Amino acid sequence: MAVEERWVEMSHGRTRYFAGGSGPPVILLHGVGYTAGGDHWWLNWDALSQRLTVYAPDFLGWGLGDRLMREYSFAYLVDFVREFQDVLGISRAHVVGHSMGGWVAALLAYESPGRVDRLVLVAPGGLATRTLASMTNFSPPTREEVARQWAERTPPGRVDVEAVAARDFAKTEVPGALEAYQLILRHMNDPEHRRRYHLLRRLPYVTAPTLLLWGLQDRTNAIDLAQEALSRLPQAELKTLDCGHFIPTERPEEFNQLVLDFLLR
């Protein structure tokens, strides 16, 4: 494949990421799920890497890399992206973020505009201050539950869900994975922290041209949040797809084309 697994040493320890392709750099930031990681962009990176140099890291606290056993904040996650850029010598890049990754991407564009060329927010978090039941009532998924999630979030027959579930479930067996994730959720789902890092007051100051991507059947982020974000961003456009919250895997071909069209404009 054009994109391969790599490792880099950062201040918290080793971080896994996926990279490859040619063209302008783009950093792909994944969502919050317990078994999430940079490899959750695997239905997207081959198409994107034909025209772009793709980087898809495991966030600090996710994937197969070293854990930081702290109840850390959104500020940690945003600075993780900056450090990732620094250690790889990426002074400026396009940034694509899904769900929590979209929240972090928008915070990065607000705090460090010189680091972001174009921004793609895929059903981003941070637009509502309410807590999420999936975080409040979290319990570690079984391998069967991970397989069922992939079956629901990918086109029928497109992937070997058992093989992908086995790959994802390996992340739950990393020493300290559960304890680190519980610390992350404790901070991220705290009402005061969600209010403090709310995006709506920040979006008017995001100068990067922005593409909002939304699923019309998204039960996590209702379409009215997309309209609210669109009204506050200075340079933004909204595209909707006939799917739920997991656009990159539910509608990979449409997602890939929309992202390429926007980033290479």
Structure tokens at 118: 């174009």
Q: 247, 122 in Cβ contact below 8 A?
A: yes
Dihedral, CA of residue 72, residue 77, residue 82 and residue 88, to nearest 10 = 100
Once rounded to an integer, what is the mean pLDDT over residues 101-130? 96
Angle at 43 between CA 249 and CA 68, to 5 degrees: 85
pLDDT tens by residue, 165-199: 999 999 999 999 999 999 988 888 888 888 899 99
Nearest to 2 by CA among 54, 38, 39: 54
Q: 99, 125 in Cβ contact below 8 A?
A: yes
pLDDT tens by residue, 185-243: 888 888 888 889 999 999 999 999 999 999 999 998 889 999 999 999 999 999 999 99
Looking at the chain, the whole-number percentage of residues with pLDDT higher than 70 is 100
So what's the pLDDT on residue 244?
Answer: 97
So what's the pLDDT on residue 71?
Answer: 82
C-alpha 135/C-alpha 33 separation (Å) is 9
C-alpha 78/C-alpha 118 separation (Å) is 17
So what's the pLDDT on residue 198?
Answer: 92
Once rounded to an integer, what is the mean pLDDT over residues 115-137? 89
Dihedral, CA of residue 65, residue 28, residue 38 and residue 121, to nearest 10 = 110
- At 231, give phi and psi (nearest 5°): -70, -20
Residue whose entry in the numeric block shows the structure tokens 């637009």: 127
Domains by residue range for the chain, with CATH: 3-140+176-263 (3.40.50.1820)
Structure tokens at 7: 């490792």
